[in-house]
Amino acid sequence: METREILSHVDHTLLKAFATWEDIQKICEEAIEYGTASVCIPASYIRKVHDTYGEKINICTVVGFPLGYSTTTAKIAETQQALADGATEIDMVINIAEVKNGNYEYVTDEIRALKAVTGDKVLKVIIETCYLTEEEKIAMCKAVTKAGADYIKTSTGFGTGGATMEDILLFKEHIGPNVKMKAAGGIRSVADMEAFLNAGCDRIGTSSAIKLIKEQSADNY
């Protein structure tokens, strides 16, 4: 797979608590240079990135991140503010506790409520697979589909585990035809990125894609 094709599916991510404006500028400029699908950044930087780079960049941010247990009202407010500031993609974390309570309807309703806010903008739903049983993962595939979200996403990258091929194959079996897949967390090689894309993922969430591709290119000389 060509480097440009891989990078066109990458959400170039920086969500560390101590990310400075200089750090954010660096990933934005890399995203423009290498043609990544988006930058995924803390919400507090959205307006500044939008004002600085305008239409050159697709801005993604996270909502209810990373633990997911904010109220639906709070998640809606976060989403509304992010869109007003210039975000075009929202990655929300489900309420994992309600999944564990077996309250799948709550989770479905919350996803639906955020999709109503995002409208024609992209909504990705992080289900944090490392904390879920297979039954719960299947239930979340159904919830994401029923609620009309655009993507199901494996992980925050802040949990106890990240994307696995097993989970992507499970998603493929149980999501609806209009739901795409995003693998995120623990992706540590170009081979990993290629494997997930070849398995049917439309997006890869990682902070290291460009670094990995540069290292691979250097190794080939």
219 in catalytic set: no
Active site residue 150: no
Query: What would the two tokens of residue 221 be?
Result: 């000389």
From 11, 91, 167, 192, active-site residue: 91
| CA 156 to the chain's CA centroid | 8
Which among 137, 150, 182, 192 is annotated as catalytic?
A: 182
Residue with tokens 């780079």: 53
Strand positions, DSSP E, 35-165: 38-41, 59-63, 89-93, 122-126, 151-153
Based on the residue annotation, tell me whether 91 is a catalytic residue of this protein.
Answer: yes
10 Å Cβ neighbour count for 5? 11
Residue 51 neighbours by CB distance under 10 Å: 10
Question: Rounded to an integer, what distance in angstroms lies between the CA atom of residue 89 and that of residue 118?
Answer: 8
| Residue 147: closest CA among 84, 80, 95, 97 | 95
Query: Using CA atoms, how far apart are residues 72 and 198, in angstroms rounded to an integer?
Result: 35
Task: From the candidates 75, 115, 137, 153, give the one annotated as an active-site residue.
Answer: 153
Name the residues annotated as catalytic. 91, 153, 182
